[in-house]
Structure 1
Amino acid sequence: MNRRTLLKSVAAAAVGAPLASLATASSAHALGNYHVAVCEQRMNQILIHPANTRWSPENRVWSWTPPATVENSWRLLSDIKFRDTTAFGWVALVTASGGKVGMVNIGDGDELLWQARPYGNPHSIERIPNIGAVVTASSEQRASDPKGSYPGFLTVYGPTNSDDPSTLASVQTIDYEGAHGLWFDGAHLWALGTWTITKYQVTGSHRDTRLVKVWGYTFPKAFNGHSLDTDHSDSAYLLLTGGGSVHRLNKSTGALTATNPTGVGVKSFSRVASGESFWMQAGLGWTNDYIEFFDNAGNTNPTMRQALEGYGYSAQFYKARLSNVAFS
């Protein structure tokens, strides 16, 4: 898909469909005008739809399917983020539990600008702007340690040219049990795992890029962290999902508070600027065939539900994020 086609499809999607056509949960509310990106594992694809239209092929904004590999290392897509770069504009950062991570050049043939195989069940990826470094989080042991004495780790990739992702190479690994979530807030990189949430300073540049721990918190019992995201309604906070709860972290004070809604098996949770929010709560193993939305009035029960329509199959959603891509 070229960038011109992509721009036209976004404009068409913005028109939307009548809200009456949406699948509903309890008492439906009119969803806001934003895009939702999902990791869909049945067909192993990334899909973006406007929140407030039917999630059907004609309303799809963008999709991407990874290349086939002999070892099937691109199976089970598990994370998607969108970041603006100097050299390529907007790119998609993707991970797959099968072992691969990569960077996709959105709208210019959707080519893979870079891919690597950190192993260990990759669950998250982040890019450090200006430096051009990439960090990944793997929740299981390294391939070089099959007995599992390293139950999770972070991998830092540093470039020789910050504008050329093909020059990225592994420069640091950090043991991190159950590493699942990563988020760069413009000043620090945050990581989330089984027991801990950690703030890192990014030091150096190019192949000298390193993460240095600044602060960390250990939960009194296993939190089993899954997703880490900014709170788009207030950037002073991060949103964390664990095995059975959603927490809000004050980045300045380190204060953690449980927040509504809450529930077991929440793999991702996002809150948009208006206060509206949505999550993916597992119901079919580790996936579900719909995404649930919550209004900004503080209701603890979902007020809207979105599933794929017109695709000819039901989805296996693993993660859903607010898509912040600017196609202009």
Structure 2
Amino acid sequence: MNRRNLLKSAIAVGLGAPLASVATATPAHAAGNYDVLVTEQVKNKVMLFRAINLWTPENLGWEWAAPAQSAWARLNDARFRETDRFGWVCMVAAGGGKVGMVNFGDDDALLWSATPGGNPHAVEYVRSHGVVVVASSESVSSALPYEGYLSVYAPTNADDPATLGSEPVDRIEYTGAHGLWWDGSFLYALGSWTLAKYRITGSLKGARLELVQKYGWPTRFDGHSLDMDFSDPSRLLLNGAQAIWSVDKADIRQLTNIRPQSPGVKSFARAVDGESFWLQSIDVTDPVPGQSRWWNEYVQFFDPTGKPSYRRGLDYYGYEGRFYRARIASTRLT
């Protein structure tokens, strides 16, 4: 692969500092002049591209392929986070049951992995405590049959992710857990019925999630992804109830519907200039009776007014990709 040089601190987001202090370090840009990290489930890879460029093999900035094991099937989530020992890593979660930490360096080694089970949909690294939190949307075992969990993994050395254990130190029942976001101060979690805000208490193996605020919907919301809003550091973006929402981090009960009539969205992101993109299930864009298809071969981009502008797929790779999630990368290609 033609490896690009990386400006690894160009737009560091939520990596141990509150987003309010990070947003000013996020450069203004022309439309599409940022990098997108996608999970692709045909080849089961994480892939990094500049949004505005054609997504050709020559323009591929970085990729990582999951091990050929059933527990690593269906990469659902990927995000860059910074660690004290290894520098930048890519946190990955697979529907088959695995999560891991990939060395975003010369060897792309799998530095740590665990098997929380239950169809992991999101994984987050909390640098201040060295803790990993996983959102699983289903029961993790016959002994733990609840429909969704937050699993907490903790290290013996907070500065060294290699000391993370393979078994969780705590689990919290959380129906349909799909989304997680750490903003440097608090961890936010999204599920089928609930949006919650936690702080991390304790240290090392004593680390736990302490509930700060919780919002529950009266009818099933089916929340999917959580992401920062690059256009407003005081807010997060989420999707559920067939719409896109903006939420005030200071009071998560304050939600604004910013894009109604948006069914089947798996992830949504908004850049600093208001340009946005989503991954919408192909069941919505190209329905086939009797089939359930949760991916799309294209990531759809929108201009700041919300009008469709361009889309990106793997047209130059000789196969139709199956993207599940797409987000603005917290590293930047040169």
In the superposition, the TM-score normalised over structure 2's length comes to 0.86
Stretch moving more, 121-130 or 240-249: 240-249
Q: Read off the aligned partner of 1:263 and give its amino acid letter.
A: S
5+ residue gaps, structure 1 = 11-29
Cross-structure match for 1:267: 266
Cross-structure match for 1:60: 60
Q: How far is the alpha carbon of 1:144 from its aligned partner? A: 3.7
Cross-structure match for 1:310: 316
Runs (4 or more) in structure 1 with deviation over 6 Å come to: none
Instruction: Return the alpha-carbon distance in structure 2 between the equivalents of residues 145 and 288 of structure 1.
Output: 34
| 1:1-328 pair list within 5 angstroms | 6-8=3-5, 31-69=31-69, 72-145=70-143, 148=145, 150-169=146-165, 170-254=168-252, 255-260=254-259, 262-284=261-283, 285-296=293-304, 298-299=305-306, 301-326=307-332
* Alignment CA distance shift 1:260-1:314 (3 Å): same
Q: Secondary structure at the match of 2:67?
A: coil
Q: Deviations over 1:176-230 (max 9, x none)?
A: 0000000001110000000000000111111010001010000121110110011
Identity %: 48
Cross-structure match for 2:26: none
Q: Deviations over 1:52-93 (max 9, x none)?
A: 111010000000001122xx1000000011011121111000
Q: Read off the aligned partner of 1:44 and give its amino acid letter.
A: N
Instruction: Return the alpha-carbon distance in structure 2 between the equivalents of residues 287 and 243 of structure 1.
Output: 18
User: Does the CA-based 8 Å contact 1:243-1:266 persist in structure 2?
Assistant: no
User: Does the CA-based 8 Å contact 2:45-2:63 persist in structure 1?
Assistant: yes
5+ residue gaps, structure 2 = 8-29, 284-292
Instruction: Return the alpha-carbon distance in structure 1 between the equivalents of residues 277 and 244 of structure 2.
Output: 12
Instruction: Return the alpha-carbon distance in structure 2 between the equivalents of residues 112 and 327 of structure 1.
Output: 22
Instruction: Return the alpha-carbon distance in structure 2 between the equivalents of residues 144 and 168 of structure 1.
Output: 25
User: Does the CA-based 8 Å contact 2:147-2:176 persist in structure 1?
Assistant: yes
Q: How far is the alpha carbon of 1:326 from its aligned partner? A: 4.6
Instruction: Return the alpha-carbon distance in structure 2 between the equivalents of residues 66 and 140 of structure 1.
Output: 21
Instruction: Return the alpha-carbon distance in structure 2 between the equivalents of residues 320 and 273 of structure 1.
Output: 16
* Alignment CA distance shift 1:213-1:9 (3 Å): closer
User: Does the CA-based 8 Å contact 1:90-1:326 persist in structure 2?
Assistant: no
User: Does the CA-based 8 Å contact 1:139-1:177 persist in structure 2?
Assistant: yes
* Alignment CA distance shift 1:261-1:49 (3 Å): farther
Instruction: Return the alpha-carbon distance in structure 2 between the equivalents of residues 253 and 323 of structure 1.
Output: 26
Q: Secondary structure at the match of 2:66?
A: coil
Cross-structure match for 2:287: none
Q: Read off the aligned partner of 2:95 and give its amino acid letter.
A: S
Instruction: Return the alpha-carbon distance in structure 2 between the equivalents of residues 191 and 89 of structure 1.
Output: 25
Count matched residues: 300
Instruction: Return the alpha-carbon distance in structure 2 between the equivalents of residues 50 and 245 of structure 1.
Output: 27
User: Does the CA-based 8 Å contact 1:226-1:243 persist in structure 2?
Assistant: no
Q: Read off the aligned partner of 1:152 and give its amino acid letter.
A: G
Q: Read off the aligned partner of 2:152 and give its amino acid letter.
A: V
Instruction: Return the alpha-carbon distance in structure 2 between the equivalents of residues 124 and 253 of structure 1.
Output: 22
Q: How far is the alpha carbon of 1:162 from its aligned partner? A: 1.6
Instruction: Return the alpha-carbon distance in structure 2 between the equivalents of residues 114 and 262 of structure 1.
Output: 40
